[in-house]
Amino acid sequence: MAGANDRRLFDSYLELLGLAPQPPTFDFLCRLVRAHLDRIPFENLSKLLYLRRDGRRSVPDLDVYLSGARDFHFGGTCYSNNPYLCRLLKHLGFQAELNGCDMQNPDVHIVIRVKLDGHEYLVDVGYAAPFLDPMPADAVSEYEIEFGISRYVLRPRDAEGCSRLDLYRNGELSHGYTVNPIYREHRFFAPAISDSYRQSATFMNALLLTRYSPDHSVVIHNYTLTEFNRKKSTLARLKNNSEVGAAIERHFGIPLGLVEEALHGMDLSGNAWS
């Protein structure tokens, strides 16, 4: 049973999402997912900042995570966004669990599996992707999401119960992950989280912030700013870290001083995904 402090934290969490407690229905799950993608963004800026300030190489505690979202409009990566949303879902009465996902290495990504009304859904607010609705994990045919130049394809589970999600950009396979259908505690991912702070790790050498909603979405990836309004998108090239900082403050509300502190000395001209 949740203690008083846990209840206070979850009340604060819901307040950040602009929602009130309700019974665990599919409609409420959809609203939770959409609110999270819009109000608590995917971003690795705070990861860089916490490392620079106090050498943190782990996920912030829930209270730090929530205060960062409330006071500075931070979010997090899959290592915080999905586990903490999973905890909130459990608090609200949903049957939810964490699953690891294989990319180039096993269990380096985290998703949420939700069982509801005889169906299973995948929820992922930590992939920097427009997964605005829970994805059907038990579908017998492919489930597709089209967004700008990107197409996401969730394939039916294989004989081992694994789901596969593939990301295509301009028609070419770009990325993806395989979901392992084994329940994992958050602490299981500690080695992967620690490894994500390696000097050569992706999010130590690149910047990515995303905010998604049905009407307006924003993605900042290094020196590229992309805005989506319905089915129209606009792309702008940012010239330097100063322009990046101004764009982050304008679109995400993160104070410019914190952005400058996190990005001090970083070269964002490369592409850590290539």
**pLDDT per residue as tens digits for the range 50-73:** 999 999 899 999 999 999 999 999
**Could you tell me the fold of the domain covering 4-263?**
Arylamine N-acetyltransferase fold (3.30.2140)
Q: Is residue 261 predicted with pLDDT exceeding 90? A: yes
Overall average pLDDT of the 227-256 stretch:
94
Q: What is the pLDDT of residues 30-44, one digit of tens each?
A: 999 999 999 999 999
User: What residue segments make up the domains of the chain, in order of their start?
Assistant: 4-263
Q: Reduce the secondary structure of 30-72 to three states and give it as a string.
A: HHHHHHHHHHCCEECHHHHHHHHHHCCCCCCCHHHHHHHHHHH
What global pTM score does this model have?
Answer: 0.95
